[in-house]
Amino acid sequence: MNNLLTFLIHKQLHFTNFIRVAIFIVMAWIGGLKAYQYEADGIVPFVTNSPFMSFFYENASKGSYNIDGEYVQEYKLHKNPEGKMVQENINWHKLNNTYIFSYGLGTVIVIIGILNLLGIWFPKIGLWGGLLTFGMSIVTLTFLITTPEVYVPNLGGDMPTPHYGFPYLSGAGRLVLKDIIMMAAGLIIASDAAKKIKATE
């Protein structure tokens, strides 16, 4: 047991750098996927309902009432299931600036990932990478408040179910909640970078 404790203590720096590599992999992969149609379509509910991002879209505030008198946001009528391409929906997304925004967001995410990776060798760059990771995670976690799709919807059926709404996270909600780990990781590597910067002063 003592050998394990000693190993973990002596390898702390390596583990911190592993966090940097892990963040880079996640950021580069997810950011890179923002260049593809299905991923760009997938973030529309988050962006549309976000008070911090909705202004990037042309149709964020548009919607109409259905035959049941319910107000339906326009983006819900133009959803492309993952792996399926409907040209009419793609045309709507082009007019909505869905793809242009996704390209820009993906570029920012990849850059943050690179800053984190460079922090292994350049603490001042890594400090910004960690802080930006922390900040980006805060914005992402606000989706738990602003995006209806992060909770299981009440779709009705033959039997009523109490398992919808808060706190029953949907697949999208479970994905968002994981960003709290990214938030903590960003602070850890920013703190490590700050310690290295101070040591060289």
* 9 in a structural domain: no
Q: For 35-51, what is each residue's pLDDT tens digit?
A: 999 999 999 999 999 99
Rounded to an integer, what distance in angstroms lies between the CA atom of residue 151 and that of residue 166? 6
- Establish if 6 belongs to a structural domain: no
102 compared with 165, residue with greater pLDDT: 102
- Band of residue 27 on the pLDDT scale cut at 50, 70, 90: very high
In a domain, 148, yes or no: yes
Q: CA 130, CA 90: separation in Å to the nearest integer?
A: 35
pTM: 0.90
* pLDDT tens per residue, range 170-198: 999 999 999 999 999 999 999 999 999 99
Task: Identify which of 20-29, 90-99, 158-167 has the greatest average pLDDT.
Answer: 20-29
Helix, strand, or coil here: 65? strand
In a domain, 4, yes or no: no
The whole-number pLDDT of residue 66 equals 72
Q: Does residue 3 sit within a domain?
A: no
The pLDDT score that the predictor gives to residue 160 is 67
Alpha-carbon span 183 to 181, nearest angstrom: 5
Residue 101 in domain: yes
Residue 196's contacts (CB-CB under 8 Å, 6 or more residues apart) are 123
- Domains of the chain: total: 1
Q: Select from 37, 46, 16 the least CA-distant residue to 149.
A: 46
**Count of beta carbons in the 10 Å neighbourhood of residue 78:** 19
- Residue 156's pLDDT is 72
Cis peptide leading into 81, omega within 30 of 0?
no
Whether 150 is covered by a domain: the verdict is yes
Residue predicted with more confidence, 111 or 82: 111
Q: Which domain holds residue 183?
A: 15-199
**Residue 63 belongs to a domain:** yes
- Say if residue 168 is exposed, middle or buried (CB neighbours under 10 Å; 0-12, 13-18, 19+): middle
Phi and psi at residue 168, to the nearest 5°: -85, 95
Query: pLDDT tens for residues 117-170?
Result: 999 999 999 999 999 999 999 999 999 999 999 999 887 777 666 788 899 999
From the CB of residue 132, how many other CB atoms can be counted at a distance below 10 Å? 20
pLDDT digits (tens, 9 = 90+) for 57-91: 998 788 777 776 777 788 988 888 877 888 999 99
